[in-house]
A and B are shown apart, each in its own frame.
Chain A
Amino acid sequence: MTRRPAGRPLVPAYLSTGGVARPSRPHLERLSVLARSGEPPPAGLPAAELALLDTLEDGSLAVVEAAALLRLPVSAVRVLAADLVDRDLVLARAPIPPAERYDPDLLKRVADGLRALKLRP
């Protein structure tokens, strides 16, 4: 179990991306799922990207989960993940959309119809 350090982090988040917070690809969201593509990481990859690849070693993770494990803000992980996707080291999948809510209007019309049927005889 990784113990979360109690104090103020020594290494600020901006160092992980070299101060960049704009990801190279905009479509990564908080719940996008990241998985390793299986390509071996090239030499000279920044330390934070290697760390992200390590967290994906055991399976796929959502962006927020990776951020929590790396103790980095989501914005930084998005930059790192976007770079790794650009290098074909990581595959990103769009988040699974939450189930649609029923349209209350439709429900109301159906209920009205049923009530009308019930009243007719």
Chain B
Amino acid sequence: MIEVPDLVAGALAAGTLSAFALGGGLVRSRRRQHRQLAEIAALRTRLDGTARAFTAEVEHLAARRVPAAARQVAHPHLSVPGPLQPLTVGTPLGIALENVVLALQSEAAAQRTRIDAAAQAGMRGAVREIQAALYRLQDALRGLQQRYDEPELAQTLFRLDHENEQSLRRAQVAAVVCGAWVGLAREESHLVDAVTGGQARLAGYHRVQVHNHLEPGTALVSHAVEPVAVIVAELLDNALRHSAPDTEVVVSLEHVHHGVCVTVDDAGLGMTLDERDRAQRLVAGDDPILLTDLGDPPRMGLAAIGRLTRQFDLSVDVSSASPYGGVRAVLRVDSHLLSRLDPADRPPAASAPRTTRTSRRTAPGRPAAPVPAHAPAHAYGPDAGAPEAPPGHQEPQEDADGLPQRRRRTRAAAPAPAQAPAPGAARRPEEAAAALGALQSGTAAARAAARQPGESVRPDAAADDFDQYDDTDQIHDEGGAAR
């Protein structure tokens, strides 16, 4: 029976061992469980923290960053705040949030451009109509000015015309800012006329002094006339607006190497560096124009200049200060936009300032105009009359209205030497007058004889009388040699 206790002892030992083993395993697993629990708790707190941080980040995005980003589209100088946790920058979360901001900004910018384009289209349409109506009003007013010269009425008409010019300028500038054409086709004109025309569109035009140092006959090609007038008007308006009412605004027109410069100097306050930068950016016309950028009420002058400089290849500089203390604005017109007009053939407007340069004309007074190529307007006389016209004498020529215009003879003392006709072909004015006079008295005698037998008035008698009048006039002018 010795084996039983052995067996028991063995079993006991095995049981103990396994109990130890089990107990150890149990303890280990309990420990691991503890560790895992702690880990889970830690993870849970971290998760909670992360979720809270994420929520806070998104809330921050919604409350601060998105509005700021949207505002930055309109006002680039505003800054967009960064993420709440600076550590998220560069992490996938940070990048994702950044993308939200960027996508929002690009969509907002696109939307803004679209809305602005719609607003511009609406305004363009309205302003175009107004501009056309104002041109019709201008025609009516100018017609009245020609017809009535009673001083009180004329005074009123002048005032209305001036008011109309100012409204027209505003409408035109608004149309140009909204991307429309200047709205008026002009023919080739003297540059000084375009500048003076621009000056006339302003309320304070009395304060503007124009000094014209251009070669006589310096003109603009037709498509550049109205843009130059608009730009000059806007530059002058700025100058007048930002200077004291008792100071003058000085404009000078000068030739430069590649064209002509129109310099506008005012004696006002000048601009700060920021204002100057903004103005220079606007007049350069490189950035697209949005109405919402122009303020309320919109300041359109510089923006209109920007559009026109870009469209017509002109250049405007407002970055320098004037020696008078204010701003100096310089409009440069390159030579490809310039042309020449004969000042004798097409003189500049009466109110346009004279050039300070002396004319290169050889003869004093008005030189003889080039002889018109078409047939003479009078009914008789040699057919080849035109080339034989004596120097200093001008054929009655039909103007645009189809009516002959009476011209005086220029002083016979100084025929332009360049126009001296070839010997033989020439006739002195008196000879020509005598020949015409003889012809006239001949036809008058024949007509009187023909009228004798009964027929009193021929249907074309009136026309004949008119011609006769015309020629008689010339004969008076020629010194009455025919009588």
Contact = CB atoms under 8 A, between A and B. Distances in A.
Best-buried of A11, A23, A26, A51 by chain B (most CB within 10 Å): A11
A15 interface: yes
B407 A73 contact: no
Interface in A1-26: 1-23, 26
B411 A58 contact: yes
Contact of B410 (A8, A48, A58, A74): A58
B411 to A, nearest CB: 6
A91 interface: no
B146 A5 contact: no
B399 A4 contact: yes
B79 interface: no
Interface in A95-121: none
A16 B145 CA distance: 13
B295 to A, nearest CB: 30
Contacts of B400: 4, 6
Interface stretch (B95-103, B198-206, B236-244, B419-427): B198-206
Contacts of B135: 8
B225 interface: yes
Contacts of B150: 75
Interface stretch (B68-76, B257-265, B341-349): B341-349
B149 A78 contact: yes
Give chain B's interface residue range (CB within 8 Å of chain A).
35 or more
A11 B152 contact: no
A71 B349 contact: yes
Per DSSP, chain A at the interface is loop
B131 interface: no
A11 B197 contact: yes
A6 B185 CA distance: 11
Contact of B350 (A3, A14, A30, A47): A47
Contacts of B407: 1
A10 B229 contact: yes
A119 B186 CA distance: 75
Contacts of B344: 2
Best-buried of A12, A21, A74 by chain B (most CB within 10 Å): A12
B369 interface: yes
Contact of A14 (B162, B193, B369, B395): B162
Contacts of B138: 8
B155 interface: yes
Nearest to B146: A73
Contact of A12 (B184, B200, B394, B397): B200
A73 B149 CA distance: 8
B120 interface: no
A10 B151 contact: no
B353 A47 contact: yes
A36 B352 CA distance: 21
Interface string B150-176: 111011011101100100000000000
Given A15-B205, A21-B157, A30-B149, A58 B366 contact: yes
Given A15-B351, A52-B350, A1 B158 contact: no
Contact of B194 (A3, A10, A18, A72): A10
Nearest to A23: B151
Contacts of B10: none
Contacts of B411: 58
B346 A21 contact: no
Nearest to A68: B405
B159 A19 contact: yes
A57 B369 CA distance: 17
Contacts of A30: 149
B200 A15 contact: yes
Contacts of A85: none
B220 to A, nearest CB: 10
A14 B187 contact: no
Given A1-B394, A21-B155, A47-B352, A10 B196 contact: yes
Contact of A21 (B154, B345, B397): B154
Interface in B376-428: 394-395, 397, 399-401, 405, 407-411
A10 B349 contact: yes
A59 interface: yes
Nearest to B147: A73
A3 B151 contact: no
Contacts of A75: 145, 148-151, 154, 157-158
A56 to B, nearest CB: 11
B349 A74 contact: no
A10 B149 contact: no
Contacts of B154: 21-22, 73, 75-76
Contacts of B394: 1
Contacts of B139: 8
21 contacts: A1-B372, A1-B394, A1-B397, A2-B346, A5-B187, A5-B346, A8-B186, A10-B225, A11-B197, A11-B351, A11-B352, A12-B165, A15-B200, A17-B158, A19-B158, A19-B206, A21-B155, A23-B151, A47-B350, A48-B350, A48-B351
Given A8-B139, A10-B197, A70-B350, 13 more contacts: A1-B395, A10-B196, A11-B351, A13-B161, A14-B161, A21-B151, A48-B350, A48-B351, A58-B366, A72-B350, A73-B149, A74-B146, A75-B151
Shortest 4 CB-CB contacts between residues of A and residues of B: A75-B154, A10-B197, A21-B154, A11-B349
